[in-house]
Structure 1
Amino acid sequence: MMAVLEEQVDEAMKTMICHLIDKKLKYDHYKSTHFFLLSIFILYTVTMLFLCYTLVIIPNNFSMINSLTQLLGSRYLIFLFLAGVFLFGVLKYYFDKKEKAEAEFHDLRCELIEKSQEMWRKEQWGNRHKVFDQLKQKYDINMYYESK
């Protein structure tokens, strides 16, 4: 990628493209981490519902008061519930990080698209598609349109 950048763009544009690639990699990292944690959370929730149903609700003949008493009386179920709350907090944290990284990436990409006419020299304007195509192929960054 750098070889194409060396030939086609000046130093300022190269720096901006490198920052854009860094933002994209950061966004992809948070996106994949969030998806992994979301999958774990869904699996955890389904497992907890199954455990509560089979270990608490069915033995108490669907009595709400007895079920709550047994649920609050057992330490391991409360511990598992608190672990679920912690997992939800971590999931929310990574969701916010992912959203912030996506906004930063999208803003920088839009800024680069807007400034591309100013930053590409006249003689290199026709060759910019080589750089844009490589960004699309290697990093899945669309530099032709501002829409996501």
Structure 2
Amino acid sequence: MDTPILKLQYTDETTKHILENVRKRKKKFDDAKKLHNYWIMATLVVSFIYLYYFYITIGKQYSYSFFAMFSVSVSDLKNLILLAMTILMYGWMNVLKQKKDKFEKEYHDLRCEIVDRSKDLWKKEEQWKNRHVDFEIIKKTYDINLYHAKK
């Protein structure tokens, strides 16, 4: 368990384990989001390189005929490789988006469950009155908002 969660004063062990689980899911979501953003940028760069290459080598010289452009683009190996890379990177970017959305849903569902069950998790009167102290620590340390269920 992470040190700030272990040091929470007004939280019992079971709730600490639940908070640790939501922290792990938040980390998974953040990592997936970073990876997805990286692949978006990489896909855009490769797409622009492909379009520039296509324009310089094929578009300018064979603009008079679509069939001539098509014929030359199919016979040019570099063009086909760049096109395949662009398509594959776009597909991988979409797969990563689905993973990111899945991790976000898991994280958000668990966080909402904690918010909904907060009366059960902080049962004692002293814990209930001082839970905001622990919520602030979680908010500052991990950027996890446990005050309300909205994103």
What residue in structure 2 maps to residue 91 of structure 1?
93
Q: Which runs of 4+ in 1 moved over 6 A?
A: none
2:39 aligned residue (37, 54, 57): 37
Letter of the aligned partner of 1:127 in structure 2? Answer: N
User: What is the RMSD computed on CA atoms of the aligned residues?
Assistant: 1.1
TM-superposition CA deviations, 1:19-62 (whole Å, max 9, x none): 00000000000001000100111111122111111110101134
TM superposition score normalised by structure 2: 0.92
What residue in structure 2 maps to residue 116 of structure 1?
118
Q: Does 1:144 align with 2:147?
A: yes
Q: Does 1:125 align with 2:128?
A: yes
The structure with the largest helix share of the pair is 1
> Post-superposition shift, 1:87?
0.8
SS of the aligned residue for 2:117 comes to: helix
The correspondence of residues 1-148 of structure 1 with structure 2, limited to 5 A, is 1-5=4-8, 7-120=9-122, 121-148=124-151
SS of the aligned residue for 1:143 comes to: coil
Aligned residues: 147
Structure 1 portions without partners, runs of 5+:
none
Structure 2 portions without partners, runs of 5+:
none
> How far apart in 2 are the matches of 1:61 and 1:92?
32
> How far apart in 2 are the matches of 1:84 and 1:62?
26
SS of the aligned residue for 2:7 comes to: helix
> Post-superposition shift, 1:131?
1.2
> Post-superposition shift, 1:108?
0.2
TM superposition score normalised by structure 1: 0.94
Gap change, CA 1:54 and 1:62, over 3 Å in 2 = farther
> How far apart in 2 are the matches of 1:122 and 1:62?
81
Give the percent of matched residue pairs that are identical in Structure 1 and Structure 2. 28
